Structure 1
Amino acid sequence: MTIGEASQGGGDEVVEVCPALTDAELDELFGASWPDHRPTSFAPMLARSLIWIAARRGGRLVGFVNVVGDGGAHAFLLDTTVHPDERRRGLGIRLVRAAADEARARGAVWLHVDYEPHLGSFYRQCGFRSTAAGLMRL
């Protein structure tokens, strides 16, 4: 399902809910965005997802966010990724807001996210507020 389109420079940006994605295009996006990324199979991750949102510009994958759920009120935002060439244009915020809307439509009441301190401003712009939480490294 296409959420919206916005024409900006190098072609149309198309944001979709749960589109078909290949390992190659996800690896390309994650490799450009995360220096420590190693090629992987994404099928097991997507099979456990509540939803994912992807953005393409000119047919190229330029953004992705994943949402997993507990089957009830709680959903968790993971892997918010925007290609370095596309950053600081609002795409990440559009992806996260689309993910929140879709999670709500599927019954989630709470959307959780963990992030590093330097991303606090971004997530506040997306509508998140800080809360106390616990974390255990396994």
Structure 2
Amino acid sequence: MVITYDWRGPVDNAALNALHAEGFGGPPGTLDWAGRLRRHSLGWVCAHEEGALVGFVNVAWDGGTHAFLLDTVVSRPCQGLGIGAELVAVAVRETRDAGCRWLHVDFEEELRPYYLDACGFRPTAAGLIAL
């Protein structure tokens, strides 16, 4: 298995909609990911195996020194192989190289070991309002 990782590479909307649906539940949507990413993101990382999209993470930002990790997802057959951690590692390097000082991430409690142990985030106090 050879996985390639691309920062700000081409985005296939159908493939990303299908991967997002697989990872987060529900039927594949029709979101224009390519347009959304160009408008709102510092960058994104796509993981491919033999041309097939198997992982994705988005790095949104405030236009300054803060960036935000969103939509981390790996296809079910590829989970547990370190692909997600490498997606985040590429995102961290590229975000740092872009001049950001902080990379934030929110996650559900069951993902705590992944983000804190596998990816190197540290816990912080934060607030959230469900809208």
Q: If the TM-score is normalised by the length of the shorter chain, which range does it land in?
A: over 0.9
Q: Secondary structure at the match of 2:41?
A: coil
Cross-structure match for 2:6: 16
Distance 2:82 2:91 in 1: 14
The RMSD of aligned alpha carbons is 1.1
Cross-structure match for 1:45: 36
Q: Deviations over 1:71-101 (max 9, x none)?
A: 1111000000000110001000000011010
Report whether the alignment pairs 1:77 with 2:38.
no
Residue 18 (structure 1) shift = 0.8
Distance 1:38 1:83 in 2: 14
Q: Residue type of the partner of 1:88?
A: G
Distance 1:121 1:88 in 2: 13
Gaps of 5+ in 1: 1-7
Report whether the alignment pairs 1:88 with 2:80.
yes
Q: Residue type of the partner of 1:22?
A: D
The TM-score with structure 2 as length reference comes to 0.93
Please identify runs of 4+ aligned residues in structure 1 that moved more than 4 A: none
Cross-structure match for 1:56: 48
Tell me if the contact between 1:30 and 1:37 (Cα under 8 Å) persists in the aligned partners.
Answer: no
**Richer in helix (by share):** 2
Residue 30 (structure 1) shift = 1.2
> What is the total number of aligned residue pairs between the two structures?
128
1:70–1:25 CA distance, 2 compared to 1 (3 A) = same
Gaps of 5+ in 2: none
Q: Secondary structure at the match of 1:130?
A: coil
Residue 45 (structure 1) shift = 2.0
Q: Residue type of the partner of 1:20?
A: P
The TM-score with structure 1 as length reference comes to 0.88
- Structure 1 vs Structure 2: percent identity of aligned residues? 42
